[in-house]
Amino acid sequence: MATVAGSTPTNRATERFADGSMIVRPDELPWTPWALPGVYFKLMSINRNTGMWSVMMKIDPDTHTDSHYHFSDVHVYVTSGGYSYVHDRINAGEYNIECGSVAHEPIIGSDGQESISIFYGGISGADADGNPAGDYVDVEWMYKAALANNAADHLDPPPPPREEFFN
Ligand SMILES: [Fe+2]
């Protein structure tokens, strides 16, 4: 992990400061394939205490994905293209709140979609009845996927086990 005390960066992608502040430079991060085909992300920040993660996401034009289930809210600011679910289409410059406990299938057009999103909890696939199914994508899943793609140097690794648990 690259940590900066003061203002001298040790990592091209990020600057971390002694007070805990961080500047993420996403242009220096590679896109990492996500859990859904045709979807890619750059992990901006994580919070293991709350389960939150924030990402830039990119979805290829005309991508068709299966339904997914949200365990908590996701806030999405669309920066390019657009998408829709059962409601109206959300276009670039617009902000969408996808509520938790909802299963749905996005519709992606020929212009694809790029966004900045804050996930307040995990996401998974969904069965035919809209119940969660398949892998559970949480903050640690996101961290490990980004790390495997050399895109997580700016993020803290999991904390070490507490010694007293093993005494
Ligand atoms: Fe969704």
Write down the domain spans for the chain: 26-155
State in Å: Cα 27 to ligand 1 middle.
25
Q: What is the DSSP letter of 109?
A: E
How would you write the pLDDT of the chain (167 residues) with one tens digit per residue? Answer: 444 445 554 556 578 889 989 999 999 899 999 999 999 999 999 999 999 999 999 999 999 988 999 999 999 999 999 999 989 999 999 999 999 999 999 999 999 999 999 999 999 999 999 999 999 999 999 999 999 999 999 999 998 887 776 65
Q: What token pair was written down for 126?
A: 């969904």
Rounded distance, CA 142 to CA 150, Å? 12
State in Å: Cα 87 to ligand 1 middle.
12
Predicted TM-score (pTM) of this structure: 0.88
State in Å: Cα 149 to ligand 1 middle.
24
State in Å: Cα 105 to ligand 1 middle.
7
Rounded distance, CA 157 to CA 7, Å? 22
**Candidates 3.40.50.300, 2.60.120.10, 2.170.190.11, 3.40.50.620; correct CATH number of 26-155?**
2.60.120.10
Rounded distance, CA 20 to CA 39, Å? 30
pLDDT at 12: 60
pLDDT at 1: 43
Q: Which residues, including other chains, have CB under 8 Å from residue 17's CB and lie 6 or more apart?
A: 4, 5, 6, 7
